[in-house]
A = this chain, B = another copy of it.
């Protein structure tokens, strides 16, 4: 019986043109990672469950794909556990491995495991797929690609400067204008909570603040009140709800707001360092924007927080993000390793480039010449030219069968192959190839050397 041909929901097949477009983005990012001195690593598709479980919160644990143990996996399961028929308890007895959920935790595990072979500060990049048992929806998949770069083992702010430049370099190469690099600092958020006397409600405070974009000023105030933050406290930070000005004006406002918070002032100092450096090393394409409502995974970041917004004319939201974390490897027993990193959201960048028509035409090029197959003798004659073309990395194909001319031409047409070569008995006798330009319809005889020059141009 024939199986049905389908794939699991939330996963995707990529067609040749999709792979080519994805590879265009990936290789652009990769080239800049390398230019900036990052080195590649790769980690396995699945990790031991205990490496991943408990690292992403309860919600994260729920979204981790678990791999069933091989063989007679029930053999070692305790009878009492089995009889309870409880999915959660049973799952930890019958699974030991799980698919990676992100690249950050496996990276932390890698650093700890290989710490004796690593020269710190360690600048690594990693471009691999991750998996989440999330409800699939537009732009959200169960398997997707992350492109991460991190530095671990130094707390220098020059790295924050360099990551902003790296983002700018990539978007410049992709010709994607209008991107804004939003920056904030965990210490600013801590400072704000401190000056309004709500330090113990830091998480509630920032979670609410982070929603300003979505639910507006009134919504944020309402949520803060619900969480027990007082009306007068909210009144104190009112100015930050309407920060529309430039970087420096915002900084000046923060300076007055946070004048009594030591940690807040440290945050401002860090932001100013970055901003001043970038005045000397100006960005080409992207714009740096201070967004004091930006929080992301707050319990994770300890300094800078980045988020990349797609150009305003595209409805896409964040196409990347990152930040500074001071103790990532601590979960695996290696303390005091400050790190900072960023990530590019491949799938969303793809959608943005598609919408703005920014993929270069060359990405779609595959085979440059199709040689028509007139029979075995002619095929052999064609293959001699094809061999020479391929040696010069000009992609060329022989139509495999001596099918009807119309069928072969239509194949070239459908595949958007720009040149067709017709070489039958007469051409063989004269040692030439008849080259047809599919766009213009022009046809001309030329020897192998001229053929090569013609299609290389």
Contacts and interface: CB of A to CB of B under 8 A. Distances in A.
A138 interface: no
A401 interface: yes
A441 interface: no
Interface centre among A3, A66, A415 (most CB of B within 10 A): A3
A20 B17 CA distance: 26
B12 A44 contact: yes
Given A15-B117, A397-B36, A169 B390 contact: yes
B36 A13 contact: no
Interface in A65-111: 65-68, 70-75, 82, 85-87, 90-91, 94-97, 99, 109-110
A156 interface: yes
A333 interface: yes
B19 A41 contact: yes
Sort chain A's interface into a size bin: 35 or more
24 contacts: A3-B50, A5-B51, A5-B332, A6-B48, A7-B44, A8-B47, A11-B44, A13-B44, A13-B113, A15-B117, A19-B41, A31-B393, A35-B393, A36-B397, A37-B366, A37-B396, A44-B143, A45-B99, A68-B91, A68-B94, A154-B401, A155-B401, A158-B373, A158-B379
Interface of A: 2-8, 11-16, 19-20, 23, 31-32, 34-37, 39-48, 50-51, 62-63, 65-68, 70-75, 82, 85-87, 90-91, 94-97, 99, 109-110, 112-114, 117, 119, 121, 123-124, 129, 131, 133, 143, 151, 154-156, 158-159, 161-162, 165, 169, 277, 280-281, 330-333, 366-367, 373, 379-380, 383-384, 387, 390, 393-398, 400-401, 411, 414-415
